Amino acid sequence: PPSRQSSSSSHGGVIVDDTSRRSEAVTLRAATVGSSNPRSSKSDTPKPHPRTPTLNEQAELEIIRKELIQKYISLGHSEEYATKEVNYFLEDSERSAQYVDMRRLAMARGNDLGIEMFVQFAAAFLVGWGFSWMMDAFHAHMAANPDGGLPWMP
């Protein structure tokens, strides 16, 4: 960057400030940097390709699509009309993004792994079995020691 010393020169009784000229020149040079290629334009730049959804995302989107179609049908619309409207809504990512994200979040809360029911039943079985085993061991110990002493308590 040019130095910021202010120097004034006199040209025929008119005082000219060189500092303003230098800052204008710097601004003009900075404005033209990078725009020297007349062939480039915004329309020539390739648009980024949208991300391809995963199989899981496609399955979720299909579930959302079926739910929305059923809602339209329950409101009394024909299946053809419902399908057309839902497809139009889901194809417009600006309009449907918030709704799809909300539905995906709701589905994820209710079904994180897809095997929750099995895991919950297995965990409940193991907890019940462990508690039952502890109670049987306690009753066996009490039967073997009629004075009621517990091994960890004198």
pLDDT of residue 135: 93
pLDDT of residue 23: 47
User: Quick one: tokens of 84?
Assistant: 């057309």
Segment holding 141, helix H or strand E: helix 116-144
CB 85 within 8 A of CB 71: no
**Secondary structure (DSSP) of 56-107:** HHHHHHHHHHHHHHHHHHHTT--HHHHHHHHHHHHH-HHHHHHHHHHHHHHH
CB 125 within 8 A of CB 100: no
Distance CA 23, CA 134 (A): 86
pLDDT of residue 86: 93
pLDDT digits (tens, 9 = 90+) for 5-62: 544 454 555 555 555 455 444 444 444 444 455 555 555 566 666 678 788 888 889 9
pLDDT, the chain, mean? 75
Predicted TM-score of the model (pTM): 0.41
